[in-house]
Amino acid sequence: MVRLLYKISIFLITLYLIFINISYFTGKKYILTIVDLFNDSIFRLFYFILIGIISLGYISGGIILAVLLTVIFINTILFDCKKCKILDCISLANNIKQEIKNNISTLPKNSRVPCLATILVGDNEVSKLYNKLKLNACNEVGILTKNINFPNEVKQDDLIRTIEKLNNDPSVDGIFMQLPLPDHLVEEEVLSAINIYKDVDCLTPKNIALLGLDERNPIFEPATPKGIIEIFDRNNV
């Protein structure tokens, strides 16, 4: 009886592999694959049972059955990867830059051009690179910039005093504090000094709190997740 069930299992699995490979090479789906089914809770249970069968197959010596099951997973992954869409984020970024550039160039003559102030403390090479990329992006689209550099040993009071000046400067629309800060500076106190209406990186405690509250939005949303959502939205993902 066990031998009969074993042969039936091999036959059904072989049949499944045939359909998967036909689907893969013809581009037509003749059978559901793992990715199609994995959202279903019942299939999740089946999936883990199948993994168990594969493991037991190798351990108990049922090599043929175990190998066939392993090949199923490889085939279904290949089939589903064929359907993946590669997102061209570089072109998308260039399009967004052009949109911003057009918006700035069409401002009324007496309008004030947006300005971003960046603050860099110390000589961390990675931080310097990130700061430079932000400045270059602003210059590329026509946003004005104010780049303020401090030595690594800057006093916290001096740093906060500079932030307060930028808060009160009507020509500055956003303040970006490049992190990390040197160890002698209290990061939370420094970030708290930034006016929430100029906190473009959503780093102040109040903006972070607003981010976590239902039906309330921070003045500015965090750049990285906002950028990812924008990529998905523009690609209808």
Q: Give the pLDDT confidence of 15-40 residue by residue, as tens digits.
A: 555 555 555 555 555 444 444 544 44
In whole angstroms, give the CA distance from residue 155 to residue 74: 58
pLDDT, one tens digit per residue, over 137-148 is: 999 999 999 999
Whole-angstrom distance, CA of residue 137 vs CA of residue 155: 30
**pLDDT of 41:** 47
pLDDT beyond 70 at 2: no
Higher per-residue pLDDT: 232 or 30: 232
CA distance 64 to 184: 63
Assess contact for 85 and 77: CB atoms under 8 A.
Answer: no
The model carries a pTM of 0.65
Rounded Cα distance between 35 and 44, Å, is 11
In the chain, count of helices (H) and strands (E)? 10, 3
Give the residue among 149, 143, 148, 139 at the shortest CA–CA distance from 115. 143
Q: What is the mean pLDDT of residues 77-97?
A: 74
Contact in structure between 202 and 220 (CB atoms under 8 Å): yes
Q: Which of 32-36, 50-54, 72-76, 93-97 has the highest mean pLDDT?
A: 93-97
pLDDT of amino acid 135:
94
Q: What is the pLDDT of residues 63-76, one digit of tens each?
A: 555 565 566 555 55
Mean pLDDT of 176-182: 94
Encoded tokens for 99: 């949109």
Asked whether residue 129 carries a pLDDT value surpassing 90, the answer given is yes
Residue with more model confidence, 34 or 111: 111
Q: Report the percentage of the chain scoring pLDDT > 90.
A: 44
